[in-house]
Every structure is written in C-alpha cells, then in structure tokens.
Amino acid sequence: MIKNKSLASPYIVWSVVFTAVPLAIVIYFAFTDKNGAFTLKNIMDIGQYTSVFVRSIVLAVIATAVCLVLAFPLSFMLSRMRASRQSMMLMLIMLPMWMNFLLRTYAWMTLLERNGLINRFLGLFGIGPFNLINTSGAVVLGMVYNYLPYMILPLYTIMTKIDPSVIEAAQDLGAGNLRVVTKVLIPLSMDGITTGITMVFVPSISTFIISRMLGGGSNLLIGDLIELQFLGNSYNYNLGSAMSLMLMVIVLLCMSFTTADSEEMEAMV
Amino acid sequence: MRRLKMLGRVYLCVMLGFLYLPIAVLIAYSFNESKSRAVFTNFTLKWYGELAGNDMILKSLAVSLVIAFASAAIATVVGTLAAVGVNGMSRRARTAVMVLSYVPVINPEIITGVSLMLLFVVGNTQLSNLFSALLGAEVSVNGFGVLTLLAAHITFCLPYVLFNVSPKLRKMDVRVYEAALDLGCNPRQAFFKVVLPELTPAILSAFLICLTYSIDDFIISYFTSGTVQTLPIAIYSMTRKKVSPEINALSAILFVVILTVILGANALDSARERRLERAAREEERKAGMQA
C-alpha cells in the first residue's frame, strides 16, 4: 500500500528518546558512582537486600498461584455459559478493574483494620480481633484482589476455544472429572495459563503501593526499595538503578519461562 | 453432576462477592456520618459536599483530564502515522520497531517510571548547565511538571495505538486502495478517502484505551510529575492520612460513573448487534421469497 516509511519516524524518534535512552541511563547509573566513575559497588550492595528480594519473589509466586487456582474453575464455568450470559458475567468480573487500584487497595484497608469490618464480624462470634492488616498475608490478598482479572481473562479466552466434544470424548472413554482436568483442560489451556502467570507475576513482584498500604512498614518489597532510592529518604539513584536492573532481569527470566513466541506477546496486549 | 453444578453456582457467587464486597463497603461508608470506620452512626451526604469543596481533588481532576486528552490525542496521531509507516517497511525493520514498542508494555511500570524520571533529571542538569554557561550565572532548571507528565503518558500510550491500528491495516484489502488510485485519486486523497475511514474504528478504540490508561495511571505519573498532582496522586496522598471519608464518596461517584459508561456502551453494542441481526434476517427472508 502506501510505501512511506518516513511516516513512522516521529514515532521511532519518540521511542528511542523516551524508551531506549532512559533504559540506557538506568544501566549507566547502575554501574557508576555519584561522581560518574565506573563501579560495581551498587550491584554488590544489592546483596544486603537479599531478604527483600526473596520476600518479593515468594509473595508474588504465592499470589500468582492463588490467582491461578481461583481463576481456573471460574474461567471454565464462564466459557461454558450461554453467549449472552457469558458477556454479562465477563463484564461483571471486569467492572471492578475500572476502579483505580489505589481505591481498590484502600477498600481492603477498611476491611482488614483492627476495628475493621472483618474483625467486628468475627467479634460477633467471640473470635478475634486478629492482626489482619500489616501482615504478608494482607499483601498477598491485595495482589490477588487487584490482579485476579488478569488471570481470568486469558484463561477464559483460551477456554472458549475448547470444543465441548473433546471433553465429552474423554468422559466417554472413562475419564473421571480429575482426569478430564489434568489430561484435557490443562494441556489445552496452557497458552492462557502462561500468559496469565506473566500478567499477574510482573505487577505483583514490582508493586510498592500494595505492600505500603496493606503491609505496613514491615513487609518491604523490591518496589518499595526502588521507590525509596528515588523519591524516599534513602535517595540514591545509583543503587536504585542497580535494583531496577535486577528487577528487570527477574521479570525477563520469568517471561522467558512463560512466553514462547512473539505471537503470544501480541495476544497479551 | 447436579451437585457439581450447584457447587459451581456457589463458587461463582463467592467470587463475585469477593470482587464487589470491598467496593460495596466503601460506598456504604461514604454515607456514614461518623469519621470512624468502626461504627455506622447516621446517614449523611456531608462527605460529598466536602468533596465538592475540596480544591486539591478538583484541581487534580482537571490536571488528569487535560493530560489524558492531550496525551491520547498526540499518541493517537503519532501512533496511527507510525502504523502506516511500519506497514510499508521490510520485515526486519518492522520487527525491530515492534520489539522497541514492546518494551514499555512488558516492563514493570515502576521501571518505566524510574527510567523516565532519570531521563528528566539528566535533562534538567544538562539544561541548567547550558543556561548557566549561556547566561554566565547559576541557573537551575526544574522541568518536572505538566510537560514531563505529558511526555510520560504519551510514551506509555503510543505502543497501544500501534498495536491496535497495525493489525487492521494489515488485514485491509490493498485492492481498495489501488482501485482508488486507478479511479484518479492521488495517494494522499486515497489515504484520506479510503484508508482512513476503514481505520477509524481502530483509531477510535486506540484513543479510548489511551484515555483510560492515562486517567488510571498512578505509578509512572508518581515518578514523573514533580509537585503536580493528578487524580490518582491526589487519591494516594489522601490514603496516606489513613482515615478520610471523602475517598469513600469519591469511590462511590467514580463507581457510578464507570457503571453508567460501561452499561451505556454495552447497551449501544447490543442494540447495534440486534439491528444487524434483524437486517440479516430480513435479507434472508427476501432471498427466500425470490426463490
């Protein structure tokens, strides 16, 4: 059609200046000290924060696993509904996503507080009050609540493509419910599962708001550390850049496990 | 089988409850007279009144809207042009552009925010040095504000425009464009009269996606805004105070607005579908009568 490549040049210039150059600056800061001299000190210093990195990974993995377990049956039921009900249910599930995630997380602060609704409800039965907020459990809950739809959507999309006769065939051949799930449903929805895992894991491991609002001061994550270096009290761009680099490596590692080809990435968008 | 179905229904209800309960509680408390979240004392609308008089919120809402419309408009134009340009590229060049475009999409938002912040920090120092040298006096430039916000929002919106418009362009029938040329259009006319109308739905949806991403964004704005507050940043500063019932009122208003917009869009969609279906049935009936 129109062979005018120059039309893309404003976009390319913009992407280079605001995407490629900033990443190069992050790498530059990560390997230099305050005076601009080359150093590996920043990378080495990350070692002091191993516990934070481990905590971030563990909590993000737990949140991703919980999302997968919760979303799998839900997405399957959704994919087997009548078309008109399907679109309505899907809308119902996606609707909370349109609320800003700060408000959604704030809502859980209200519920989990020491004299919040959950503790008061339990109090009616003479149980509690429990320390619900400012625990790592609350952070995982916040991640699950915020990112669950990211798991449901790709699972549902792939499951609508599963032909019901395949499931019936397995049942006719004597497979019980469990075997249908493990031998038919899971293999056939693998692409959706991997996409969902990336889409939940990446924002979970890099969050700093959820941990700050629901985790109190005691559940620092990688995101909090980075934020502290750039806008908080620690104020060390070089160390912050090194941490950002580390986070990027973790995310890329995760993606290399889960995304096989570029078509899948396109599906994610 | 029956029991499984019952179980499924219960599970569905529990999950919907999980998704909506927190929002329902927020909205309920927005009518609570007591500032404490422990007790519900009396029904009141005073928090809505205080919200309407809260300059910080209103100002940040204005900033958010301006940034959203400006960045969405710029991103849509630049991104659509890019889609047309990329379409004419060799396979290799196209892949290179696509890979570059995936970076802001795949990168955790905090990294995009931090890297842009560093770019602006470096830019500030360079400009300060430049102006100091030019004027012969110590000048410090701080560009953080609406402009950096705008640049950041355009940056994370752009790829979505490209990804939305590009596939439509690739699926388009080249012969329609060629026919226009054969019928005497020059390439420019053919683009505006034939290609652009075909792309309009994709461009429009790209614009809407940019608008929602921009209004919703907190993390990237947080790192690039300096002292300017967008609505999400204002909300964040309010949550830091722990108890502020105005947030509840704001949540309730936003929820109702979102609900109306989505239900409205859905109703329009299904009305159009029904119309199409009816037209198709009518066609069939006519064809049947002729046969």
pLDDT at B243: 64
Q: pLDDT exceeding 70 applies to what percent of chain B? A: 97
**What's the alpha-carbon Rg for chain A, to the nearest Å?**
23
Specify the DSSP element, H or E, that contains A178: helix A177-179
Q: A104–B195: do the CB atoms touch at under 8 Å?
A: no
Task: Calculate mean pLDDT across residues A247-255.
Answer: 91
Q: A110–B105: do the CB atoms touch at under 8 Å?
A: no
What is the CA B55 to chain-centroid distance, rounded?
Answer: 24
Q: pLDDT tier at B239 (50, 70, 90 boundaries)? A: confident
pTM score, whole prediction: 0.89
Domain ranges of chain B: 1-53, 55-241
Query: How far away is chain A from the Cα of B81, in angstroms, using its nearest Cα?
Result: 5
Q: pLDDT tier at A162 (50, 70, 90 boundaries)? A: very high
> Is the minimum CB–CB distance between A4 and chain B shorter than 8 Å?
yes
Tens-digit pLDDT profile for residues A62-87:
999 999 999 999 999 999 998 888 88
Task: Calculate mean pLDDT across residues A137-146.
Answer: 96
pLDDT at A42: 92
Neighbouring residues of A268: CB distance < 8 A, sequence distance ≥ 6: A154, A195, A198, A199, A259, B105
Give chain A positions within 8 Å (CB) of B105: 268-269
Task: Check: CB of residue A144 under 8 Å from CB of residue A67.
Answer: yes
Q: pLDDT tier at A268 (50, 70, 90 boundaries)? A: very low
State the ipTM, two decimals. 0.90
Query: How far apart are the C-alpha atoms of A19 and B112, rounded to whole Å?
Result: 8
Tens-digit pLDDT profile for residues B199-237:
999 999 999 999 999 999 999 999 999 899 999 999 998
Domain ranges of chain A: 49-236
Q: B236–A15: do the CB atoms touch at under 8 Å?
A: no
pLDDT at A190: 92
Tens-digit pLDDT profile for residues B84-110:
999 888 889 989 999 899 989 889 999
B58 compared with A121, residue with greater pLDDT: B58
Tens-digit pLDDT profile for residues A93-133:
988 888 899 999 988 988 888 877 888 788 888 777 788 88
Query: How far apart are the C-alpha atoms of B200 and A259, rounded to whole Å?
Result: 32
- A/B interface, count of CB pairs below 8 Å: 230
Identity at A227, one-letter amino acid code: E
Q: B88–A4: do the CB atoms touch at under 8 Å?
A: yes
Query: How far apart are the C-alpha atoms of B251 and B22, rounded to whole Å?
Result: 11
Tens-digit pLDDT profile for residues B103-133:
898 899 999 999 999 999 999 999 998 988 8
Give domain B55-241's CATH superfamily.
Answer: MetI-like (1.10.3720.10)
> Is the minimum CB–CB distance between A142 and chain B shorter than 8 Å?
no
Tens-digit pLDDT profile for residues B137-154:
887 888 899 999 999 999
Mean pLDDT of chain B: 89
Q: Using the CB atoms, write b or e for A65-102: b if 16+ within 10 Å.
A: ebbbebbbbbbbbbbeeeeeebeebbeebebbbebbbb
Give chain B positions within 8 Å (CB) of A5: 85-86, 88-89, 93
Query: How far apart are the C-alpha atoms of A16 and B77, rounded to whole Å?
Result: 18
Q: pLDDT tier at B283 (50, 70, 90 boundaries)? A: confident
Q: What is the third-level CATH fold of A49-236? A: MetI-like fold (1.10.3720)
Mutation to test the B interface, candidates A69, A102, A202, A225, most B Cβ within 10 Å? A102
Start-end of H helices in chain B: 2-29, 46-52, 55-87, 91-106, 109-135, 146-171, 174-182, 187-190, 196-216, 219-224, 231-239, 245-290
Is the pLDDT score of A195 beyond 50? yes
pLDDT at A261: 52
Mean pLDDT of chain A: 89
pLDDT at A2: 65
Neighbouring residues of B101: CB distance < 8 A, sequence distance ≥ 6: A15, B158, B159, B162, B163
Task: Calculate mean pLDDT across residues B47-52.
Answer: 87
pLDDT at B138: 80
Mutation to test the B interface, candidates A12, A19, A234, most B Cβ within 10 Å? A19
pLDDT at A269: 43
Q: pLDDT tier at B246 (50, 70, 90 boundaries)? A: confident
Is the pLDDT score of B59 beyond 90? yes
DSSP-derived 3-state class of residue B129 = helix
Is the pLDDT score of A175 beyond 60? yes
